[in-house]
Structure 1
Amino acid sequence: MSESDRLFSQPDHPMRDFVFNEDVVRVFPDMIKRSVPGYPAIVENLGVLANQFAQPNSVLYDLGCSLGASSQALRRHVKQDNCRVLAVDNSPAMIERCRQYMSQQDSLFQELLPIEVLEADITQLAFQPASVVALNFTLQFIAPEQRLDLLSRIRQALVPGGALLLSEKLRFSDEAEQHLLTDLHIAFKRANGYSELEIAQKRNALEKVLLPDTLEEHRKRLLKAGFSQVVVWFQCLNFASLVALP
């Protein structure tokens, strides 16, 4: 059971960088729902989109799977024969809880895709032939200099007809647009019960950890990695989801 996110409700000096540890795991479902506008719609529709691109006898990757929300959507929606999900994260605390959630999902639903939950660094992963790769708010936590190589290796692993499903927080090159959407995102968090202290402290904790790109930077990098088409299928404030096709 997820707890309410109160991790940044008390002053923390000096402010520590954000880490996906056991404290975050305890509150993560509440945290992401109250912090990322459109998150439930993104996750559910990742499964719907994945079913359009999944190919028989292939792997479906959930990279940076955290607690496995995207994996659960993939397992519910994809109906192609002999597919399996490989969920990967480098946080031991996330992986432990993700395995528990997958076991619970197995007890509630029948005929789900098989899944393997793996603790690993996705920048070092040897990819198997895959038809769907989900990077759901993961690339923004990868060092910028490693992003192109990771996307290139994902592109090489994708089979014909497959797709990369990428969700990211965006930054904007236009200063006025950046300021407006930042203010609107803060208003979203206020409306979800976060105090000014919580908003400020979490922003400071993430400042050196979550490094967003502009939409144009994403497009250019994906095309350089070998993808032929990049389409935005969802955007809410400064958060967007893209489909990249081989």
Structure 2
Amino acid sequence: MMAESPIRLQLRTERRDEEFAKEDQPIGDFTFNAKVADVFDDMVSRSVPYYEEMQRMVCELAQDFAVPNTNLYDIGCSTATTLLTLDRMINPNVTFIGIDNAPDMLEKAAQKIEHADARRPIDLKVVDLHQGLHMENASVVTMLLTLQFIRPLFRERVMKMIFSGLNDQGCLLLVEKLTSEDTAFNRLFI
């Protein structure tokens, strides 16, 4: 019998996402609040095609670029799934910094980190990317499905700030949804 992948173990939650199945729920803007944070791992693993595979590939690539005595940033770290997976794969002398703009998501991330027995401290920071971002000494930056939540007007500035914080030979591992002019292709990936 094959062992369950570490990423799948990370994504398993006690509570299945049924937040948006309620019929009497008022319609409003989606927010990463405490209710969403509580079921986020289940929500994202079921709603993003190939999410587990995406996590696996990003973590394998990060291994090739992470350098001891540098920083690894996860921008839009949500509940720390990527950071916790990387924790077992990356040299313990790499400092991990998780950035998110949703305090409830970071609270859930802190709980997961505490229960996961991480090999290193993981610094979690509330940052509104629209207000700016300071990074330094980065050998790896991951940004998974985050750019879409940054207003288009600010995206170029955020990317320049990331670039300015990257060391020579550092990398940005960016995963994002995209659309195509081919509607059949869009339907396949949506």
Same fold (TM over 0.5): yes
Pick from 155, 176, 187 the counterpart of residue 163 of structure 2. Answer: 155
Q: Could you tell me whether the CA contact under 8 Å between 1:33 and 1:39 is conserved in 2?
A: yes
| TM-score, normalisation: structure 2 | 0.85
Which of the pair has more CA radius of gyration?
1
1:165 corresponding residue in structure 2: 173
Q: Secondary structure at the match of 2:123?
A: strand
Structure with more relative contact order (C-alpha pairs < 8 Å, separation 6 or more): 1
Per-residue CA deviation, residues 80-117 of structure 1 (Å, 9 max, x unaligned), is x63110001111111111111111112xx6xx243111
Identity of counterpart residues, as a percentage? 38
Output the CA distance in 1 between the equivalents of 2:162 and 2:172: 8
- Find the counterpart in structure 2 of residue 38 from structure 1: 50
Instruction: Give the Cα–Cα distance (whole angstroms) in 2 for the partners of residues 144 and 14 of structure 1.
Output: 28
TM-score (norm 1): 0.67
Residue 153 (structure 2) aligns with: 145
Alignment-derived partner of residue 90 in structure 2 = 78
Following superposition, the deviation at residue 157 of structure 1 comes to 1.1
Which amino acid letter does the alignment assign opposite residue 122 of structure 2? Answer: I
**Distance of 1:133 and 1:68 partners within structure 2:** 14
Partner of 1:231: none
Structure 2: runs of 5+ lacking an equivalent: 1-12
| Structure 1: tracts of 5 or more residues without a match | 182-236, 239-246
- Cα RMSD of the aligned pairs, angstroms, is 1.8
Match of 2:123 in 1: 116
Which of 79, 82, 87 is matched with 1:67 structurally?
79
Bigger shift: 35-44 or 57-66? Answer: 35-44
Distance in 2 (CA, whole Å) between partners of 1:70 and 1:13 is 31
How many residues align structurally?
Answer: 177
**Cα separation, 2, equivalents of 1:147 and 1:171:** 17
- Which residue in the other structure is 1:97 paired with? 108
